[in-house]
Amino acid sequence: MSTTNVITEQLTAAGRSIEHDSFAVIDREAGSHVYTIEQWSIVRRMIHASADFEFNGLTDFHRDAVEAGVQSILRGGANVVADVEMICVGLSAPRLAHFGMTPHQFIGDVGVIEAAKAQDTTRAVQAMRKAHRKGLLGDAIVGIGNAPTALIELVRLIREEGARPALVVGMPVGFVSAAESKDLMAELQDPPWIVIRGRKGGSTLVVAALHALLALAEARQKTAG
């Protein structure tokens, strides 16, 4: 059996060549780093998605983050709960389908909007609450790239209401509470997390990190097979 990834690679030889050449450039230009091989594969893909080498250093991992994410994917059927639709749209449908994964987001849900107005909160807060009420956060991979309030609310749900995702990829971008929300997430010992320290982040980075985890899971799957 081939150990070369198929599902999580570009579909054409030309696309694969460009991507692999880009990774080689990043490896040459990034300089030294403190990451493990698997952690670096995630950071490198984030740099590839943004052309921003500062993610070499700004990206921080819970010690169990990569393994927790890969195992969640390999178990099959995991939910991906996102703060915004952009993450769900950006994720590769064939790659998710290979592992039986389903993306969810509620930012545009009518009930979420009404609750946010009534309670004077953000839609992102109410969207996280709805995901929790629906039982979607348990053992899920949660990706937050846009709304710091979503990450702050997720931390509250973990601390106060027993929410237990398998992994949190917390990378909200912004100037109000973005850095603080990620620092708050990183205080937790459970569940594992991947965060970008400071103001930088974004949905594109979350998608890149999740695609890297999917690639690691496929490689592990082929090795085991």
Give pLDDT tens digits for 3-38.
578 788 777 888 888 888 998 999 999 999 999 999
Per-residue pLDDT, 225: 61
CATH number of 13-224: 3.40.50.10230
According to DSSP, the residues that pair with 168 across neighbouring strands are 142, 193
- 20, 33, 48, 211: which is the annotated catalytic residue? 48
The pair of structure tokens assigned to 166 is: 């398998």
User: In this predicted model, what pLDDT tens digit does every residue of 136-175 receive, in sequence order?
Assistant: 999 999 999 999 999 999 999 999 999 999 999 999 999 9
Which residues lie closer than 8 Å to 185 by C-beta, 6 or more apart? 151, 154, 155, 168, 170, 193, 195
Q: How confident is the model at residue 1 (pLDDT cuts 50, 70, 90)?
A: very low
User: In this predicted model, what pLDDT tens digit does every residue of 50-91 receive, in sequence order?
Assistant: 999 999 999 999 999 999 999 999 999 999 999 999 999 999
Per-residue pLDDT, 16: 84
104 given a catalytic annotation: no
End-to-end CA distance of the chain: 8
Q: Is the pLDDT of residue 119 over 80?
A: yes
